Structure 1
Amino acid sequence: MGEIICQTCDSTIEHFEDEKVTKLYANKCPNCANHTNENK
């Protein structure tokens, strides 16, 4: 089982099938991207 994790807020964005436990870090999840855009 693999997980995609947001670097900004550390929350799990998505799970995907994998033979071993994997953690991939994405720059920003949709939640963080929305908050960033609102602040500008």
Structure 2
Amino acid sequence: MGTIVCQACEATIGYFEDEKVTTLYGKCDCCEHDNEGEERE
């Protein structure tokens, strides 16, 4: 089983099926919206 973790706040975003135990990093919805808001200002 694999886990998807937010690279900014380290919250668990989700899980996926995999033969090995794997951790992937991405961005959760909260962090994406915060970053977009900062870029617009």
- 1:16 counterpart residue number: 16
Partner of 1:30: 29
Q: Give the ranges of 4+ consecutive aligned residues of structure 1 lying more than 6 Å apart after TM superposition.
A: none
Which letter does structure 2 place at the counterpart of 1:9? Answer: C
Which TM-score applies when normalising by structure 2?
0.74
State the structure with more CA Rg.
2
Give identity over the alignment, percent: 51
Q: List alignment gaps of at least 5 residues for structure 2.
A: none
Q: How many residues align?
A: 39
